[in-house]
Structure 1
Amino acid sequence: MLLSGLKVVEWATWVAGPGCAGLMADWGAEVIKVESPIGDATRAFYPDTAESPGNPVFTLENRGKRGIVLDTTRPEGRAALVRLLEDADVLVTNVRPGSLKKLGLDYDSLKDRFPRLIYANVTGYGLTGEMADTAAFDITAFWARSGVAHSTIPPDQEPFPSRPGFGDHFTALATLSGILAAVHERSQTGRGRQVETALLRVGAYAIGWDLSLQLRYGDVLTAQPKKDRMVALSGFFHTADDRWFVVVVKSADDYPNVLKAIDRADILDDPECLPPMTDVHKVRYVRAALETAFDALTLEEAGAMLNSLDVAWAPMDSLLDLEMNPQAHEAGCFVEVGDGAGGTFWSPASPVRFPGLDTSPRRPAPKLGQHTREVLREKGLTDAEIDAAVGAQPA
């Protein structure tokens, strides 16, 4: 496996940190997930039960890991965590910077003791500044504060939140890329380093096209009401069978070709209707003609026409549509995972495929504290030391 031999300790909750470590587990790393006695908060979503084993949300972020419980509010729990780092290559944590420093588990407190350790901080707003310890989720830091929501939601619509875990998964990928860069550097220098990602910073990068214009020119035109958009053929259209599809103009030929295909070549006789169009009323006129034509076609008919013209388009599919799409299976979008009770179910796959290499999860997501004694005994702790580190008998 790609990351065989890489030892990762994950002391994180929710999505971005666990998601990063989960990708490394998919790719062969040995990942030990450290949880408090009450467990990762995502265990409470669609909880694992005898009738329905295998929490799909928790499994997505935590399959393939071994899981232990430590009470890091106790000195024995913190000492056990440090023991785990003795032969670890990577630590991934989203504990807030102030709490890490208070516990003596921040990077500066550990770097001299573990010079080869790659210490990855997943944060909301970064490690410094007045907001470093502010509570953050992807909906607050990635979606709202970064400008992503403001740039995405047209001003004539009521604001809405992003879907759960959306920005977290961007941040998981960013954190993973930073860790792998540090692993490469360590192969040359023999030393680890601190890696830091912030939901805010990742959001700024994700909206980078718009942000680059804002930074360069001091202004940028972002999401607009449909009636004010100046490209008639670009955007979503409705069909006779109550479906929606989107068109993205990729060629100067797309516009005239589509108008001819819907028997509206007459529009091309008006110079003011030729790109680049500057009169919004003309744009609305052309868009209305396109909408009328597409509203008379089924999605299959509209798609066939656009395909024949080599126009870039796609239906607005549901998650069920994606699940049933043969191309999604060809692209490797799904993977079969264990439910922890002898059965299996389908889950989203990691976003990268390595043709010829099986990166299927090696084990189900761990039950709370499932591997506590196994892992800590491997580190030389006695049963009494384990009990003190956990603060209660692990599951």
Structure 2
Amino acid sequence: MDFQLSPEIKELRDRTRQFIAEQVIPLENDERQSSHGPSEALRRELVARARTAGLLTPHASREMGGLGLSHVAKAAVFEEAGYSWLGPTALNIHAPDEGNIHLMEEVATPAQKERWLRPQVAGNIRSCFAMTEPSPGAGADPSMLATTAVRDGDDYLINGLKWFITGAEGADYAIVMARMEDGSATMFLTDMDRPGITLERSMDAMDSCFTGGHGVLRFDNLRIPATDVLGEIGKGFRYAQVRLAPARLTHCMRWLGQARRAHDAALAYTRRRQAFGKPLAEHEGVGFMLADNDMDLHTARLHIWHTAWLLDQGEKCNFESSRAKVVCSEAEWRVVDRSVQMLGGSGVTSESPVMRIFTDMRAFRIYDGPSEVHRWSMARKLVHLAEKAEAAQ
């Protein structure tokens, strides 16, 4: 792999960095935010600014109105956008919309793309991905999917309960995963204002960076026409992998920006804050934390870029994206945790952005597959490959 970025990607990266610094970070204290994320009014203002700057939805295809970025280009741009917790919202690359846009590009019919994808790429509507369920339904183990879909004439009736559905409040449409009568899974598209969909509540969560928060959705005989099936019947789990492998990686990209922001804040503070006769950064204990931060940031970036490069070569990267997700979520978390420690009292108050980053980031080690599940999955694949190689000898 050649780690040199093209002049075009560098220019876009630098333009994104400037946009975040000048147009987004000044809005971080805007009152149009709550514990459930930025308001729709704030989202629309951020999107308008990104549209004017020519940076809106850069990962979408040019045909749909995006910039058609490669995965490597996304790695550079998404990190810069992630430097502010409002940056992904501004560029329309926040979860779950970013992953849904990718899935819709790959699987949706031309009619479905015109109805839902094109206005989403334009930043005019939002979406959610309804898969996770309370016990005993699907969580880290998707095979426990409990929401059902039953054929009724030319329609399907959906019944079930979903929770931790990011962006549910205010979403215009949803991608719903449901179990068919034969035990397979299918994805369905639905407008959120259809009869049979109830947003029971928005859940209180540690993070507050996702527009629409995390909702509990109930489906009671939700009627979805067969024309709104996403892809083919029975291939829901396969399409989930189409969505999840790149989406895991884009989470790593965005949170890398936040981790770098935390490190920058800690470095600036420890250079100027005096204790015991010299700057904190000159004390070995603090200096070691700065060095460890740099190593973790670099390690995370290498995993991201390498996996992005493989995706650009056409590889599926299920194994590599799992590896990157574990490495990055844990390395980036260590960076933020050390930064809190170095900042002392400032790190645990709103005097510094690092406290906000700390509370927002913790869930990253859980969603899109907990670290333990990815390690377990990787181990199974490693054993399988070893057995296969041994049998071939």
Range class of TM-score, shorter chain: under 0.3
State the TM-score, normalizing by the size of structure 1: 0.21
State the TM-score, normalizing by the size of structure 2: 0.21
Higher RCO (Cα < 8 Å, 6 or more apart): 1
Computing the radius of gyration over CA atoms, which structure comes out larger, 1 or 2? 1
